[in-house]
Amino acid sequence: MIIETISSIIELENNCSPSLELDTVLNEVLTILKCEIKKSYVGFDFINYFDGDYPTIEIISKEISTTDLYIKITIDSTKNGYYINLNHDWLKFKDITKFVGEDIIHTLSENIRKTPEGFKTLSNYYGSSSWDDIKEVYLLSRFFNIDHASDFELINSINEVLEIYIDLLIDYESLESYSIIEDIWEIFRLYPREKENFPYNPLGYEIISYMKYDLYETIRKRYNELPDDLKVSIKRANDEYVLSPDLSYNLNEFSTSIFYRDGLILGMTFECSDETIKFYISQDLDRINSPQEGAKIGKTLISAIGKISSEVDFEEIEKTEIKHLVDNNKYYDIYRFHWICSKRIKIEGLDDEDLIEEFDKFKSIYDKITDDYKYLRSFYDEFELNKNYSDKEE
């Protein structure tokens, strides 16, 4: 019955012109196929859909909550058959880091104790150069020609792949046992001694890659998605001392943005010498037309924050501060017209849950002032646009 149903789908696709009626019939037959296969299994979710032009059934464990590792049965009518694959999502690494993705893929692949007969491992994956070519990695893959297939062979192959899938899910739980706090401690330890070209030297790149991945996964689980404005970026950090060249470097401080909304940044600074994390809100300098404008927007937002929270730190953003570093006997002018507020947190004794709770509190302030910032930003952008237009006319 299962192979007959697959044959029906292949015949329909090969012999009928594309139409809404055909799509409806194919969906109905694919649902029947899903139900036929599902009869043999308990503890798994079965989803049927069209992956591009390919009728597909996806199998996911109900017990372990990851949608990144799954089994797919994909019908390819042009080849007169179907694939059974054990896949891992690859797109999730595109905005994070291929370094971590490659590590996870190879770890899972190496943990497949015995490859079932006829299956290939990593058949579409050839390392980091496949970065933009694929959306999922085939940990296991085999094509079956419908003319030589049977229900017994299909169910037996699914069983073999399911057994490996369940084993890998246990490995996957350990791979996902990440800790942002441990990443932070590593940065505290490494940055002061490896900061030359950090994070582009090997040690720096590795720890930043893993911290970025751990941060993304923590936020994904916290909010059940990856928000569109999540922008972890070292280049767009715009930290407190961005206008004082080398000051952050000499203070053993390292920053990254986390969220970015039309020029309003929620970032994090690793104050390595003090073993402290500083969450902060600042403006993107590339969006500020003048120091006076930045300070005006900043003062308005600071006033708004003062009415909703007393747990953050403010600086005098309109005045230039002079800071003297004894270690190198240098004086630095500090300009903060882009700065809004910050909150320091000592890491000693904290776990991931404590840190995320502190982050949530600070992010709630960021959320509350976003609309105010967007209004002010649009007002000054329009003012600057009109001013430039008037200057051209003159």
- Tell me the pLDDT tens digit for each residue of 297-317: 999 999 999 999 888 999 999
Distance CA 369, CA 384 (A): 22
pLDDT of residue 84: 97
Question: pLDDT category, 35, cuts 50, 70, 90?
Answer: very high
Give the side-chain half-sphere CA count within 13 A for 319.
Answer: 6
- Tell me the pLDDT tens digit for each residue of 6-19: 999 999 999 988 88
pLDDT of residue 330: 93
Average pLDDT across the chain, whole number: 89
pLDDT of residue 130: 55
pLDDT of residue 282: 97
Distance CA 44, CA 163 (A): 13
pLDDT of residue 42: 87
Question: pLDDT category, 224, cuts 50, 70, 90?
Answer: confident
Q: What's at 40, amino acid-wise?
A: S
Average pLDDT score over residue span 123-138: 76
Backbone angles phi, psi at 362, to 5 degrees: -70, -40
Asked if 38 and 27 touch (Cβ cutoff 8 Å), the reply is no
Distance CA 350, CA 180 (A): 11
Q: What is the pTM of this model?
A: 0.80
pLDDT of residue 389: 46
Average pLDDT score over residue span 368-376: 95
* Element (DSSP H or E) covering residue 307: helix 291-308
- Tell me the pLDDT tens digit for each residue of 151-199: 999 999 999 999 999 989 887 767 666 789 999 999 999 999 988 888 8
Average pLDDT score over residue span 126-155: 86
Res 95 pLDDT > 80: no
pLDDT of residue 93: 78
Q: Which residues of 162-173 are buried (b: 16+ CB within 10 A; e: fewer)?
A: bebbeebbebbe
Average pLDDT score over residue span 254-266: 95
